[in-house]
Amino acid sequence: MRITMNQLNRSMQYVLNNRYSDLCNLQEQLATGKRLMRPSDDPVDVANALKLETKLREYQQFKKNINDGLAFMNVTGTAMESMNTLLQRARELAIQASSDTIGDTERQYINKETEQLLRQMVALIDTKYKGDYVFSGNQTKIPPLQYISSVSNTVEDYTNYRMAYFDSSAVALGSTVQIFNGFDDTPVKNIIPGTFELQIADTSFVEGVDYEVDYLAGTLTILSPDLLLDVTPGTPAYDISQVKLKFDSLSPGKDIYGSPISSWGTIERTIESSITMQINITADELTTDFNSGNNLIDTMIRFGQNLLRSDHAGIESAIEEIDYAFNAILAAQSKNGARINRFETTLVRNENQFTETTALQSELVDAEMAETISKFLLTENIYNAALKASSRLIQPSLVNYL
């Protein structure tokens, strides 16, 4: 069979191109350290490598979730530890105030410190993490407790202002009534002198029951050691048709302590495939002992009020109520600590899985450098030999001399 020069040239070019392509592929592997650069290199291994890459990205996201959850719970734990310290101090004050060796003046001083403890407690319950309230359930933009100071500094004229009266309340005949405002029972101030007229129909005051006047809402509220008492109508102890209350001043500001948000909303983090864990403690869990129904904030307020009245029984009961508050916080700390342990254990497992998956991916994707260098040198020699053979095989023809 006759072989033309054109056929010979095409054959040699085909061989040289193949050897050069092999040399380029090996050079690319040496430069990148990767055996698989495109799906055509090895479709099966590339598919498996992509699956492993997806797993690695999942592990990385799980690690971020775990670390964020741990930071959130550490902030929560620090706040609860500080609350424990405040409660311990409140208990010490309650024991001190219950002693018969101190007088009313000393109890007033204790009340001042108790008020500061309450303010600190409210601030701790309003703890934030990355701008979100940690104890507000899933309503992270709403504070669990609102402490408002200096609501209004304006003075209004309440002369001859008429208020509707809806409840039965009481004062003893001839006794002096004080109108109080705020935690420390300071008298209401800064009201322009005038007269309040209470319209009372077929009702009476009963001796021994405290009450407060809301001069803005126009209502009277019955107060008792339990904060609120509904009194049913009875035989009038002091029958009146009109009561006039004269105020000296209107308070330029007041402190308001709200109630915890009744929210059981949870904040969760996905820490493993199809596994989510709650990371938050709600204000309800933190401040309420569900065995006794005792509320931490109410306990602190009652304790302060009993100090002002020098109510020995109320002060002594505060010790037990503070212990209930301890139980609520300890239960919350226990939950938080157990979750932290779970997250830390999962983090270790996540890191181990990430390392193992990375090793598997490396076996599929990464080039074996010693083997690749050996192949590169061999392919280079083959390519050079092909070049030399081509130069010897394709000799000059008569055309070269024309």
Please report the pLDDT score of residue 278 as a whole number: 94
Banded model confidence at residue 291, pLDDT cuts 50, 70, 90:
confident
Task: Look at residue 253 and tell me whether its pLDDT is greater than 50.
Answer: no
Domain residue limits, the chain: 56-149+257-354, 150-254
Task: Look at residue 11 and tell me whether its pLDDT is greater than 60.
Answer: yes
CA 293, 298, 300, 303 torsion: positive or negative? negative
The phi, psi pair for 65, rounded to 5°, reads -60, -45
Opening angle at CA 291, ends 95 and 300, nearest 5: 35
CA distance 296 to 61: 38
Please report the pLDDT score of residue 30 as a whole number: 83
Most confident among 199-203, 206-210, 282-286, 389-393 (mean pLDDT)? 282-286
pTM of the model: 0.62
Task: Look at residue 246 and tell me whether its pLDDT is greater than 70.
Answer: no
- Render pLDDT for 18-41 as a digit per residue (tens, 0 to 9): 888 878 888 887 878 788 877 877
Please report the pLDDT score of residue 292 as a whole number: 83
Listed in sequence order, the residues at least 6 apart from 394 whose beta carbon sits closer than 8 Å to its beta carbon are: 5, 8, 9, 12
- Render pLDDT for 162-173 as a digit per residue (tens, 0 to 9): 443 333 344 444
Lowest mean pLDDT among 67-71, 92-96, 99-103: 99-103
Task: Look at residue 196 and tell me whether its pLDDT is greater than 60.
Answer: no
How many Å separate Cα 379 from the centre of its chain?
A: 62
Please report the pLDDT score of residue 209 as a whole number: 55
Lowest mean pLDDT among 10-19, 99-108, 129-138, 318-327: 10-19
Please report the pLDDT score of residue 92 as a whole number: 95
| Residue 241 tokens, joined | 């048709």
Q: Name the percent of the chain lying above pLDDT 70.
A: 67
CATH of 56-149+257-354, one of 1.10.8.10, 1.10.260.30, 3.80.10.10, 1.20.1330.10: 1.20.1330.10
Higher pLDDT, 337 or 265: 337
